[in-house]
Structure formats: C-alpha cells, structure tokens
A and B are shown apart, each in its own frame.
Chain A
Amino acid sequence: KAGVTQTPRYLIKTRGQQVTLSCSPISGHRSVSWYQQTPGQGLQFLFEYFSETQRNKGNFPGRFSGRQFSNSRSEMNVSTLELGDSALYLCASSLRSGGASGEQFFGPGTRLTVL
C-alpha cells in the first residue's frame, strides 16, 4: 500500500499571499489530520477531517482552513501568509475518525517558507 503523500514538498511564498497544500491518505483511510511543526512551538494539531466533515479544530486563526473530498484527499489553505507561518506541515491519515487507537500514519510533510 502506498503511504500518505503530500504535495508539494517545498514551497516558498511571500507575506500576504495564500497557499494550498494537498494530502492523499492511505487507500481506505477516511480520516485526515493536519499538524504544523515549528522549532518554537513544536508539533501542533490544526484540524481533522472525516468523511468530508471537519471533526475537530486546533487553536489556529481562521486564516487556516481545510477541506476533504469524497475520495478522502484533503487540502489545507492558509490565506494572508505571515512570516510565522513558515513551518513543516504534516498530514496524517487513519482508518477511523481520530483513529480511536490513535494510530495515525504521517506523510513526509510540506516545508513552507514565507519571505
């Protein structure tokens, strides 16, 4: 089975722009979660989607949004980029919403740099 894939792997944007990141979960997985990883804040939960519905959201401003398609692929969007949005964005998939066993499979991440 192919793992979680994320595109693009690297992105450079300037302040004020917006960006869309994509995540394809493992085949059969219906839950997709997004995390932001920065040196200062570590790994923080952004949101989780299951069956095209946002099930849970972390403590991030409304500039961060996401969606999930019927094939379980997910996108996250960040509008009006700020320098502090520079981070590694990780996507994780699991079989069930939240993965009641908690086991989530992570993609390699998208490295976003905001100049």
Chain B
Amino acid sequence: AQSVTQLDSHVSVSEGTPVLLRCNYSSSYSPSLFWYVQHPNKGLQLLLKYTSAATLVKGINGFEAEFKKSETSFHLTKPSAHMSDAAEYFCVVNLDRGSTLGRLYFGRGTQLTVWP
C-alpha cells in the first residue's frame, strides 16, 4: 500500500514565482511527515518536519508546508522560487511514530526545475 504519494513527478516554475509541490499520505492516524531535498550528487537534506505541533510548518530556505488532516495532505510551498531551489524533493512519512521503529517511507519524488 502506498503510504505517501507525490502528485507531480516534475514541476517547472519561473524564478520569482510561487512553488507548490503536492503530497498526500495514507495513515489511520497523524504520522510524522517530512520534506527532504536532494541536490545532484548530494545527500538528502531535511527541509522541514511535522510532528503534531503547529499544522503550518516553516522550514529552511523559505519553504513551508501545511498539514491538513481532513485532506491527508502535506503540500510544500515557497512564495518565490530561486534558481538554487532546482532539485528533487521527497515527501516522507514515518508511520512508526510512537514506537521504537523508524522506517521512513519516501514518495517517488518531484523534480523541480526553475527557469530564469
């Protein structure tokens, strides 16, 4: 069963325009949710995380995401794209929250292209 679905495999935006990367999850309770970014030939970097505190989560580099339980969504947004934002973004869920396990389930990724 798919635990996390990223709705777009590719997103292209112009520099200075808003970014929206969509993510839906499937879980019977509120899991821990994350967005990671992967630049070419680099490891994954945590952008932000949701762990049941505020539903609007602010991350690094101007990114933020809103947890919407009713829609089982955790979309990533940024008001103004920068060329350096071009990378692959992964929506990630930890369904084992509350236990001693820690498997992260990754979405298939969204490749963000930023045009000058």
Count A-B pairs with CB separation below 8 Å.
80
Number of B interface residues in the complex (CB < 8 A): 28
A108 proximity list for chain B (CB < 8 A): 41-43
Shortest Cβ gap from B108 to chain A (Å) = 5
Q: Is B73 close to A, CB under 8 A? A: no
B98 proximity list for chain A (CB < 8 A): 100
Shortest Cβ gap from B69 to chain A (Å) = 17
Q: Is A33 close to B, CB under 8 A? A: yes
Shortest Cβ distance from A105 into B: residue: B46
Chain B contact residues, CB within 8 Å of chain A: 32, 34, 36, 41-46, 49, 51, 90, 92, 94, 96-109
Chain A contact residues, CB within 8 Å of chain B: 3-4, 31, 33, 35, 42-45, 48, 50, 55-56, 58, 90, 92, 94, 97-109
Q: 9 closest A-B pairs (Cβ-Cβ)?
A: A98-B102, A43-B106, A102-B94, A106-B44, A106-B43, A102-B32, A108-B43, A45-B103, A42-B108
